Structure 1
């Protein structure tokens, strides 16, 4: 039999030890005790141990829809008084008891396997199980198996791009190292920064020094190395250096792809916040009028209904590079050479992967919200404006994109976030320049420097009251949100009279609330990071005038730009061009 997925008793490797206190992501039950040395759970007499959790529910509908597997077995490893193991089918609205069988008493560790019946109910999305303990028991794990043969074997190369974040990098490596050691996988660390040393001795870890070509350049170099290895890899996994993942994510991903009927299938992992490991940043993203929109953002995965919502959601349009495993096709298109934000979107669209999400396949990463600034928003918006050009209208329409862009920039202006509005206009200006801009990466560096200086010179944060970071703990944030809602019940003149800055616990611009204020403070729910802004009528009017002029130029030049980019970017994005960059950058 082939092991499909190992139930995660508990996070056993660093940095997942940080998850202590969040056992509800893995299991729950009254008076349960976890023993880390033995990696087992003590379940007292007459108590129920449940694996109806984000990490341990089994996405059976995805397996039935995408693989050749027709039979499923469940296996429990334990010792002690035994009990009854109950298998449930999870639907959109209820649980269905599918099967139950007895676990016999045993003083030694034993393994009991049972074939799961009634799995073809079309409404069943996931499987979950519970153990009703007759006597004290020690549960080692619960696994799902099949007797079907695999359709293919995987040889996966893992690529992590890093730039001067050695501590984060070590955490990322350590989190997936057990999975690497137990498979044919190899890890390629693309070092864009200073010299690094890692405390791991393994012939499966390779460090490759690279010129700082950004995230796209690092991942392109890693993919290039995988393609040109003598024993060619079948799949690649891209991971950020400040992300960490469960070892089981790699195992579950690879096993699923080994059985998957479509050889173009890929797995995109969800992102959860490392600071609050139960909070999902997003399952992925889909396209909107302008840019992309997160799927199931800020969902608390401690509530099982949110795991069900993930299963019911549409697939994302791209694989995010905090965790994305994909097939290395014969004519794979390398990453776009000029993005620093949005590289993963263009890469997925240009290679047309069949992207699938699996429950619990995820990575934990710091919130992106603390990275919000004029330079980063310039890079993000430049990529979003380029996507409809490179995508040739498959997912975005030119007029709808520029209309969405205009709506977005006006919300930023009305929300007093002028530096971000400046960055968006700069992105629009640079895209319309053409080859003279893209042919020299120093143009981007110069633009980023000017935006950073502009943001610094025009910062008025110090003139606004700002809550201290300690005010934004979990209780403080809840109280702040209650006070914020109470303020909204006051009439407009009352809020203007007090002249207190508005507080938004959403990092999107809030133009309606800003209209009643002289200033706004935007607070991240994930980590308490703040952006403070002040009203400036002259700056706002100037931005609105420029936006109107640039929008007209973009619409007028769009067909010309699409023709230009189609004729010129193949060479700029080719492996030959990338190889020249790599050779120049070898240290």
Structure 2
């Protein structure tokens, strides 16, 4: 049973993270109330909530009818926001918020609700105490909890009887096996109120009294200002006790040390900052260097992977370390990714690798691109079920040093699949990954990139196959080979010959075996870029007028739009006819003039297959490319596509054996040390700046 202890005395200071208590336990601070540092109104919904809770329909009530499920999914995506706003002046400090008279406000939000089910499932914590300090006579604090299905229950409440009150609520974690949160709402009295602070604490074993420390590993390339500003964020006083070293793996020509913002970062971090200069070895090479340095010096409890093009919530670092400290077993603790350009939008609440397709995705009962400003946490039933994941992206991911020491460092694959493969490898060794609510960064969204068809398509395809060879539970990779073939045909029918050639090259390189990966880490990108320059679909043009105007012999049939989205039947028909159409002669006029101009959002394969030539915009909006149909190239590539996929189907078991046997060697510190030798020399300190 929960208890409430209101007082009318002045509020006391926040408790220490390690105040001793009887019976061999100590008090640890798990989470505190925080407010946005920069008072950016776009992120207010992640910290405080003025909206009501309007819980969506339980999927079990909707049933299994496809139409009903589709309709319910559409309703779930609809906004319930009324547009209520918090004024920036109401934020008094990092932890204090002022309420207007009679204003009701909920802290049941992404950064301030307490993710009880994650603590229940993965840590030694069994009970928590919530202490809330409020000033303002007549103000009310009410504590709620939710269950895995999202419905909320009132737990307890307290009323400020004098000028101020400090309320303590004892809250068990036992009911949160499958999901659920704790949070508190505040209603101001007639004269307003101030929520001066709140802390979630727990009694933990004495051997968990001290918090761990972290090496932060940032790989950067030609983003000096972005990276320098991030370093300054990590230099905040509140984070300082948790930092061991902040390592920047500098792989570009525009150096972070030359940014105008670097002196402030250097002053904030002092001798904890190290800049390690090396060649461009991609994200995996950068992160592996940080992992290697962390393992070799052995002074930090964790190594935290973080992208250079993010805005960080510094409190998330503290929360990730605290959760890792109290985990039942060494646990990888990942942060979530919000959209840098739409800052209340969450990319994904938890990601898995679908084993049959072997593709990463949002968990099956979750949603991607979720906007908390449109539909708050308390209204979103699916967010209350605990999200169990296979991996966490390395835009923010805390890895215990003991895990690195046992399972090895990053796979040497340049970019793509290094983080997901590592999560699967750690999982196989008994180390779970938790995508932890309340720890997050803001990152450029994937939707603004074109990495499925540009030079990155090589690494996407090669590394996906390698990861499947290493971890697929199916003898021949499940659907992997068949899906690879289908995608290859799609790119060919879409006139994306450079992409198809790169994917074919990726498969040839996989067949060369695992021990070639380290040797080509520093050279493969240049080879890929040089190879794809021969294809018109890879030759990007910034000025559209540098390409010929659109002309075609015949107008669209019956005036129909060229960009209509086909029905399911129409899609199947188009998929069946597309390969055959590629064998027809090219229309003469299309050799000199594009037949259409397609924006990036309309350049799906079922539109591209209609044309002999087209101008296509890139996803970033900065350039266009000219696609041209080439029947001879199509026939050649199709023959090679069939041959290599037959070979993969035939040789998959043997290839899987080779890669699995070599995994320990190619991810070992010793293998990576040899790769880094050109930039480290005989003395490891030579790489420092």
Q: Structures share a fold, TM > 0.5?
A: yes
Which among 320, 326, 332 is matched to residue 399 of structure 2?
326
1:435 Cα offset (Å): 6.9
Distance change (3 Å), C-alpha of 1:486 and 1:437: closer
Deviation at 1:389, TM superposition (A): 2.2
Shift of 1:548: 1.0
Does the alignment pair 1:181 with 2:225?
no
Q: Secondary structure at the match of 1:361?
A: strand
Alignment map for 1:65-80 (pairs within 5 Å): 65-80=121-136
Which residue is equivalent to 1:286? Answer: 352
Q: Partner of 2:16 in structure 1?
A: none
* Aligned-partner Cα distance in 2 for 1:85–1:172: 36
Asked whether 1:49 is paired with 2:117, we answer no
2:180 aligned partner:
125
- State the match for 1:472 in structure 2: none
| 8 Å Cα contact 1:151-1:260 kept in structure 2 | no
The answer for unaligned runs of 5 or more in structure 2 is 1-26, 51-83, 547-560, 575-594, 681-686
Give deviations 1:191-244, integer Å, cap 9, x for gaps: 2335542223223322233343322222122112212226x2222111111123
Q: Give the Cα separation in 2 of the matches to 1:168 and 1:286.
A: 29
Change (3 A) 1:118 1:331: closer
- The aligned counterpart of 2:467 is 387
Are 2:195 and 1:143 equivalent residues in the alignment? no
Report the counterpart of residue 343 of structure 2 in structure 1.
277
CA–CA separation in structure 1 for the residues paired with 2:280 and 2:564: 49
| Alignment partners' CA distance in 1, 2:617 and 2:146 | 38
> Which stretch shifts more, 41-50 or 87-96?
87-96
Provide the aligned C-alpha RMSD in A.
3.6
Q: Of 372, 378, 394, which aligns to 1:301?
A: 372
Partner residue in 1 for 2:229:
171
SS class of match (2:391): coil
- State the Cα deviation string for residues 310-351 of structure 1 (Å, max 9, x = none): 453642322311011121124241112233222212222233
Structure 1 residues 435 and 158 mapped into 2: Cα distance closer, same or farther (>3 Å)? closer
Name the residue aligned to 1:235. 302
Residue 225 and residue 114 in structure 1: after superposition, are their counterparts in 2 closer, same or farther (change >3 A)? Answer: same
Offset at residue 77 of structure 1 (A): 3.0
Q: How does 1:83-482 map to 2 (within 5 A)?
A: 83-91=139-147, 92-106=149-163, 111-116=166-171, 120=175, 125-134=180-189, 135-149=191-205, 152=208, 153-178=211-236, 179-194=238-253, 195-197=255-257, 198=262, 199=264, 200-201=266-267, 202-229=270-297, 232-261=299-328, 263-288=329-354, 289-295=356-362, 296-302=367-373, 303-305=375-377, 308-312=381-385, 314-329=387-402, 330-352=405-427, 353-368=431-446, 369-372=448-451, 373-391=453-471, 393-394=472-473, 397-398=476-477, 400-434=479-513, 438=517, 440-441=519-520, 444-455=524-535, 459=539
C-alpha contact 2:324 2:330 (8 A) present in aligned 1: no
Check conservation: 1:5, 1:143, Cα contact below 8 A. yes
CA displacement at 1:46 relative to structure 2: 1.0
Asked if the contact 1:89–1:125 (Cα under 8 Å) also holds between the matched residues in 2, the reply is: yes
For the Cα contact (< 8 Å) 1:160–1:219, is it kept in 2?
yes
Q: Check 1:317–1:540 CA distance in 2 against 1; reply closer, same or farther (3 A cut).
A: farther
Secondary structure at 1:228 match in 2: helix
Distance 1:576 1:133, change over 3 A: same
Q: 3-state DSSP class of the match of 1:387?
A: helix
User: Following the alignment from structure 2 to structure 1, what is the Cα–Cα distance between the partners of residues 346 and 601?
Assistant: 16
The match for 2:28 is 2
Larger Rg: 2
**8 Å CA contact retained: 1:339, 1:379:** yes
TM-score by structure 1 length? 0.83
For residues 79 and 332 of structure 1, do their structure 2 counterparts lie closer, same or farther at Cα, with a shift above 3 Å needed? same
Structure 1, unmatched stretches of 5+, are: 467-482
CA contact (8 A) 1:310 1:359 kept: no
Match of 1:557 among 651, 676, 680: 651
